[in-house]
Structure 1
Amino acid sequence: MTAVVLTWSPDHRGWPGHYPGAVQRVQETGGLVLQWTIEGLAELPLRSDAWLLGQGDPHRWGVTGHGILTSDPNDGAGDALLELDCLLPFGDGIPIHRLLQAVPEVNWSKPPATQLLPPEYEGPMRTLWSEHVAPASASIDPPSGMLPAQALKRSFVNRFEHDPDATRVAVAHHGSQCRACGFDFEVKYGKRATDLIHVHHVVPAAQLTVSYELDPVADLIPLCPNCHFMAHSRHPHPYSVAELRAMIDDGGHLPGTIVTEQQLRAEAFAQRLAEE
């Protein structure tokens, strides 16, 4: 796995856009894709970890974000797509003195625009990032950047989908069955699984604005983890619940296999929902 440090600063290498707005967008939607110019490296494998090093006032320098370098849209022009999954306000990043202690082989004080992170320091960098970010997160999921890219399947999820109050209102109105396949945790596993159903935002996260106000009944719909994962497997516009039902209706079994009663019930449930 290759990791790279990308440097930006308000004075010299400016952020491609409005930085505070980008921070808010990542916090609200779980991710942001930017076009980033890669300088000084002739070859850089795609799917590389990218750590964002912000500069400015020496007391505010530090690593402010993490992402993955994905496709190269300009075929050798030096630009790549940077898929951000965490971005901190400038000044809240990992400070330079901690970076120098944990990862001394990187030029943190006077860095070039792009530099490789030595392979032996990829683990310490992830650990340092996790220790810095995790205390501010109430999620049970590992902090973004803690695991290498090949260990992850990225799914951009809106923060409203993790709001416990909104979830309770949505489930109270819609019921606890998955609205795509009909799966019910309580029916399958009993009382201990009563509150495990996910909720899904029916409006794509990319379309939400800062002034957006959540309506749990209209905007959130219960989905089981499998259907929720499938919905977000298309980015940035998730599959709709109607599209999930159509997939279930067209699927259900592999060629040459016997369809079970459970599969037939799921297909029938999806068909009924589609006809509502």
Structure 2
Amino acid sequence: MSPHPDPLAPALDQFERYYTEKIWDWIPPFYRDEDGLASNPGVLRALVTILAQQAAIGRRSIDRLWEDPFIELCDDWAIPYLGDLVGTRLVHELNRRGRRVDVARTIFYRRRKGTPVVLERLTQDITGWEGTVVESFKRLARTRHGLDPELSEVLPDGATSSVVTPPGGWANLRSTARMQQLDGPFDAFAHTPDFRQLQGSLGRYNIPKLNVHLYRLTAFPVQFATPFSFADGRFSVDPSGRDMPLFRPDQRSNLDDWRIPQEWE
């Protein structure tokens, strides 16, 4: 038996059985007895069963009306009406999940319109994948000015500009880890402005450009794993000794304290 019930499966409310017996009790006993003694018995009972099925459908429809005012519980047909109340532009109807989530969080989106936090959350809600948003103007090469913070404030603890690429500065090609992150969501290098129309990897870096990165690699917890031991005292969480990336669950649950995600989140 599947642990996740089918949301489209018929309800187990026994309404058909309830209304069948209720309507059958309303019929005088004389007709009920005649239905069992007739040459073709059970015709009246079959008619009562059909009436009970329609009564059950009507009862479920009435019960659903109590849930339809709530976007989390309403039927799909009610989503456009709720969306019209908050004045949102609906997602395509083929994306049933995205349409429901978009309407549910319209007020949240509107209050934080244009900020990176709402753009990141909107991307996750519509696609169902985690991701991050990168403002391209922060990745442009430029000269430093008086409003820039000191390098000691933006570089990691104990790091210097000789080992880490400073914001807007020259690229440190000696860092292999930074080279692997080139053109990704955690690219730390500065780029020259690209004024071409955005097409793939072309035209990504400019002041008005915004890059959205989706995480197609799914992270999942590993429990009761037997670590693989190396000869030099190191261990791997993969029993076969393969190099597997480790991730920490996203700690940015409080949207009011939102920050740019780190590579391991």
Query: What is the TM-score of this pair, normalised by structure 1?
Result: 0.22
Bigger proportion of residues as strand: 1
* Structure ranking higher on relative contact order (CA contacts 8 Å, 6+ apart): 1
